[in-house]
Amino acid sequence: MSAKRTKGTKGTRVWIFAFISFLAGVNVFNAVMLQTLWGSDFVVEFSIMDLKLGNVNVVVYFLVSAIAMLLLLGLTFFFIFQGFPVDSDVLHKLSKLESNLALNAKMLENMQMGFFRRLENNEKAADQALQKMNTRLDEAMKETTDALEKQSQTLKDAEKENQKNTDIIMKQASEVTNVRKHVVKLEKALSPAKTKLTSKSRLEALKGLRPRLTKELRNMGITNVGQFLTTDPSVIVQKTSELHEAVTNLQAQAQLLMVPGIDNNNAELLVKAGVTSRKELADQDPVQLCRAISNIANDYMEKGKMSANRIPTVDDVWSWIQSAKP
Q: What are the tens digits of pLDDT across the range 151-174?
A: 888 888 888 887 887 888 888 777
Residue 301 has what pLDDT?
A: 83
- From 135, 156, 179, the end of a domain falls on 135
Among 135, 164, 180, give the residue marking a domain's end. Answer: 135
Judge whether 195 lies within some domain: no
Render 270-311 in DSSP notation, one character per residue.
HHHTT--SHHHHHTS-HHHHHHHHHHHHHHHHHTTSS-GGGS
Residue 121 and residue 217 in one domain: no
Asked whether the beta carbons of 225 and 198 are under 8 A apart, the reply is: yes
Say whether pLDDT at 53 is over 70.
Answer: no
pLDDT of residue 86: 47
- Answer for the pair 257, 323: CB distance below 8 angstroms, yes or no: no
In the predicted structure, residue 190 carries a pLDDT above the cut 70 = no
Mean pLDDT check: name the lowest of 127-136, 169-178, 219-228, 272-281.
169-178
* 40: in domain: yes
123 plus 233 within the same structural domain? no
Domain check: are 218 and 104 in the same one?
no
Q: Which residue has better confidence, 84 or 60?
A: 60
Q: For the chain, what is the domain count?
A: 2
How much is the average pLDDT of 134-155? 84
Residue 267 pLDDT greater than 80, yes or no: yes
Residue 166 within a domain: no
53 vs 251, higher pLDDT: 251
% of the chain beyond a pLDDT of 70: 85
Residue 320 confidence class, pLDDT cut points 50, 70, 90: confident
Average pLDDT over residues 234-263: 86
Q: Is residue 167 part of a domain?
A: no
| 222 lies in the same domain as 307 | yes
**In terms of domains, do 11 and 131 share one?**
yes
Q: Are residues 22 and 127 in the same domain?
A: yes
Considering the domain architecture, whether residues 231 and 315 belong to the same structural domain is answered as yes
Residues 13 and 116 in one domain: yes
Report how far Cα 4 is from the mean position of its chain's Cα atoms. Answer: 100
Which residue did the predictor score with more confidence, 311 or 186? 311
**Is the pLDDT assigned to residue 186 strictly greater than 60?**
no
The answer to whether position 175 is within a domain reads no
Mean pLDDT score, 256-264: 86
Has residue 190 been placed in a domain? Answer: no
**250 lies in some domain:** yes
Pair (130, 209) in one structural domain: no
pLDDT for residue 230 is more than 60: yes
pLDDT in the model for residue 48: 56
Does residue 230 share a domain with residue 118? no
3-state helix, strand, coil in the chain (%, to 5): 75, 5, 20
For residues 220 and 238, the answer to whether their CB atoms sit within 8 Å is no
Residue 196 lies in a domain: no
pLDDT score at 189: 47
| Overall average pLDDT of the 40-48 stretch | 67
Band the pLDDT of 3: cuts 50, 70, 90: very low
- Using DSSP, state whether 48 is helix, strand or coil: strand
**Which domain range does residue 33 map to?**
2-135
pLDDT at 297 over 80: yes
Mean pLDDT of the chain: 79
pLDDT of amino acid 49 = 54
Judge whether residue 317 has pLDDT over 80.
yes
Res. 63 pLDDT band, cuts 50 70 90: confident
Residue 46 is inside which H or E element, if any?
strand 43-48
Q: What would the pLDDT profile of 72-81 be if each residue is shown by its tens digit?
A: 788 787 777 7
Contacts of 22 (CB under 8 A, 6+ apart): none
With bands split at pLDDT 50, 70 and 90, how would you rate the model's confidence at 87?
low
Question: What pLDDT score was predicted for residue 191?
Answer: 44
| The last residue of a domain, from among 77, 105, 135 | 135
Contact (Cβ atoms closer than 8 angstroms) between residue 271 and residue 249: yes
